[in-house]
Structure 1
Amino acid sequence: MVSLIKTERMAEMMRSKVIDLQTRRVLVSRIEGSEQQADLTAAPNAAGYGRVRHFRRAVREDWPANPLPIEPAARWLNLSCTSEVRAQVFQVAGCAWRCWYCYVPFNMLSADIKRSAWKSVPELLDLYWAECNRPPIIDLSGGSPDLVPEWITWMMDAIEQADRKSSIYLWSDDNLSSDYLLTGRRELLSRMESYGSGYGRVCCLKGFDPISFSFNTGADPSGFEEQLRILSGYAKSEIDLYLYVTLTSPPRPTDRELVGSFVERLGEIRADLPARTVALRIDEFGAMLPRMNETRRLALDNQWRLMQAWQDCLAAGNVEAVR
């Protein structure tokens, strides 16, 4: 029997392996030559430590549009209404969870120095400045950037020092596996708030109840409530906050009721959170194929029914699309 991940212990271990506070460096994945490269539509850039991601509003004709980070980036950068944006992605090489549908190979989530390198923010920005036709968005991804919130504030400082704040939109992912911003590092949260709407943070909720959460992450089911507790702390801040939810779970008779209760919970945390949440469609990537089994294939099929339940709940509550 596979043992469940103890999130707090795993997060602390991963953090210790992917950040060097003394030298202000983060362990960044090397994408060039990795298994992940085969899934990319363009070759890795930034000397192999970055990639360009195309965020497209249209997911599929029969799936709700995804306006993230297109809408907040367009507002900051004064772009006209657009269906697609490009982002420069850097990935921290660690994560507390092992989501079966993750597009990153697990060997790039375990702080493996053979598949990564220590990089400071100035070093990463030098690689970014050197790129031709560089994207106007920098996306700090992973792995799990919430393990290293300093990375985000260091990037903010460096962008401002370069006098590039008005021309760069900063975006980061958060899987709500750690509460470092809320406990003992409040000055980092204050720094993010002071940066204003040139920064957006998207938190990915890994399911809609404890069972779907544990199924998706491989972690103890208690992590579901912990995700919501951390989200509640962020929701009280001035950060420009958005959410993803992954609706991957094997079919259960109570699916619709569970999704409805989840939407209500989000609204109780903050009234506008359902409107700031995007149901993230999970596709098959090369990295996840070895992890697939019959139960997970059922979950991929069931996400369509769960998405419809999600949409019905939003419509019943007159919730508008994410903006």
Structure 2
Amino acid sequence: MKGYDPIKLAEKLRPKMIDPENKKVLLAILAGTGQEKDLSKERFFENIFRSKIYTKPEDREFDYFRGEPAAVAALELGVSPEECNAAFLGQINGCNLNCWYCYVDRIANSANHKYGKFFSAEEYLNQFLAERRKFQSSANPDLKLNILRISGGEVFIVPEIIFWMVEAIEKARLENDLYVWVDSNLATGNSYWNHLSAEQRARIEHFRNLGVCVCYKGFDRETFYENTGAAPEFFDEQFRMHRRLVEEGLDVYSYLYPVTSSAKNLRGRLSLFMDRLREEVSEFAPLRMATPPIKVYGPTEKRLTPARKKALENQLEAMKIWKEELQKRYTREQLHMKPHDLPSR
């Protein structure tokens, strides 16, 4: 197993994804992509922004699908979780991982300007506010917009957008009126610390209504390589970056899609991963992690192979084992707590 260096790839993509002089980042244009067909039931704005229904009815049958950010956003904003089930988002165009199960077309993750458009945080925020006003009085909670999500692609290749968004929201005096949700693939190394000053990071930390959702791309070196094609040793970097974000004082949640083409020693491998989370990130990190199933969207379907189809079959057993292993490590009271009620460090 060799693979590529995702941190070097991130730095290579970065100049194409950011316009620092004008404080803008490249967002993906979804018109004409396979992803657009998958999102036909969602609301689109300018072929770039969309309103995503976060937890769909079919997801709620999985009690280990934790449903963030609706619960934490509702808590912070003083509204019902149902009013936080829709997230307004744009996708950063550019990613340093090639996950086979990604629902995004490669062209919308390539930092190719032909399939993207530069936006400032103010423009992003204003688009959110314009769409929010249209449905403020709607009786349908799924039409209400209280969450502004910055997704990708990979946001942490251009972490300035997080600071610029906090800056724009505070300038508009809206810091108590919306919740910001930021995604990360944990594969950008020191990018967050290299490209943001200590003062900028402190301002993000003190912005109350902001959560970071990190996603592990495997539960051991083999699955990380199998899922991303990146060099296996970068699996270990995920724990280090996760820990650093927690130590920054950020409110960090996590995901794991437990897909693997091999079910050999599955319980032992997942147990080791869970224990590493507890030891290297925080005691309650596994309880702040969601393990939902991969859904096969259009772009994903084109990448399926016999081994990947087997990985999709194995994920259900992995999810079952994950729940059982949690029960061995935590009390009944802890298991019934919501992720946002558990300490992040």
State the TM bucket, normalised to the shorter chain: over 0.9
Alignment CA distance shift 1:154-1:115 (3 Å): same
State, as a whole percentage, how many aligned pairs show the same letter. Answer: 30
- Aligned match for 2:161, one of 148, 151, 154: 151
User: How do 1:65-84 and structure 2 match up within 5 A?
Assistant: 65-82=65-82
CA distance in 2, matches of 1:184, 1:48: 29
One of 190, 196, 205 as aligned partner of 1:193 = 205
Cα distance in 1 for partners of 2:248, 2:156 equals: 16
Cα deviation for residue 181 of structure 1 reads: 1.9
In structure 2, how many angstroms separate the alpha carbons of the residues matched to 1:237 and 1:62? 31
Q: Is the 8 A contact 1:56 1:84 kept in 2?
A: no
Unaligned 5+ runs, structure 1: none
The match for 2:140 is: none
1:5 & 1:44 partners in 2: Cα distance? 36
Deviation string, structure 1 residues 215-268 (Cα, Å, up to 9, x no partner): 111111011001111112112121111000110111232211010011111111
Aligned counterparts of 1:315 and 1:245: Cα–Cα separation in 2: 18
Could you say if the C-alpha distance between residues 156 and 283 of structure 1 is closer, same or farther in structure 2, counting changes exceeding 3 Å?
same
Residue 126 of structure 1 and its aligned partner are, at CA, apart by: 2.5
CA pair 83-312 structure 1, distance change in 2 beyond 3 A: farther
Q: Which residue number in structure 2 is paired with residue 55 of structure 1?
A: 54
Question: Which of 256, 264, 268 is residue 245 of structure 1 equivalent to?
Answer: 256
> Is the partner of 2:339 in helix, strand or coil?
coil
Between the aligned partners of 2:339 and 2:83, the Cα distance in structure 1 is 14
Is residue 285 from structure 1 mapped to residue 284 from structure 2 by the alignment? no
Distance 1:166 1:81 in 2: 16
Distance 2:254 2:56 in 1: 15
Cα deviation code 1:172-220 (max 9, x no counterpart): 1000111212346352332221112x00000000111010111111111
Aligned twin of 2:119: 119
Distance 2:184 2:152 in 1: 9
4-13 vs 218-227, greater mean Cα deviation: 4-13
SS of 2:191's equivalent? coil
Q: Which residue number in structure 1 is paired with residue 328 of structure 2?
A: 316
Counterpart residue number, 1:260: 271
Per-residue deviation, 1:33: 2.9
Question: Secondary structure in 2 aligned to 1:314?
Answer: helix
Cα offset for 1:123?
1.8
Report deviation, 1:66: 2.5
Q: Tell me which residue corresponds to 1:175.
A: 185
Question: Contact 2:74–2:83 at 8 Å: present in 1 too?
Answer: no
Please tell me the residue identity of whatever aligns with 1:266.
L
Q: Distance in 2 between matches of 1:53 and 1:146?
A: 21
1:106 alignment partner AA: R
The offset of 1:99, in angstroms, is: 0.4
**Contact in 1 for aligned 2:186/2:215 (Cα 8 Å):** yes
Distance of 1:147 and 1:200 partners within structure 2:
17
C-alpha distance 121-62 of structure 1, shift in aligned 2 (>3 A): closer
Moved more, 270-279 or 63-72: 63-72
Aligned to 2:247: 236
Residues 160 and 196 in structure 2, CA contact (< 8 A), matched pair in contact too: no
Tell me which residue corresponds to 1:220. Answer: 231
Q: Give the counterpart letter for 1:159 in structure 2.
A: I
Aligned residues: 321
Q: Does structure 2 conserve the Cα–Cα contact (< 8 Å) formed by 1:211 and 1:221?
A: yes
In the TM superposition, what whole-angstrom CA distance separates every residue of 1:286-309 from its partner, at most 9, and x where no partner exists?
Answer: 111110010000000000111111
Q: Aligned-pair RMSD on alpha carbons?
A: 1.9
Shift of 1:41: 4.1
2:214 matched to which residue of 1? 203
Q: TM-score, normalised by structure 1?
A: 0.94
Deviation per residue, 1:113-170 (Å, 9 max, x gap): 1111111112222222222226111000000101111101111111111111111100
The residue identity in structure 2 corresponding to 1:308 is K
TM-score (norm 2): 0.88
Q: Determine the C-alpha separation between the residues in 2 that align with 1:229 and 1:186.
A: 20
Secondary structure at the counterpart of residue 8 of structure 1? helix
Q: CA deviation at 1:322?
A: 2.5
1:165 is aligned to 175
Q: Secondary structure at the match of 1:167?
A: coil
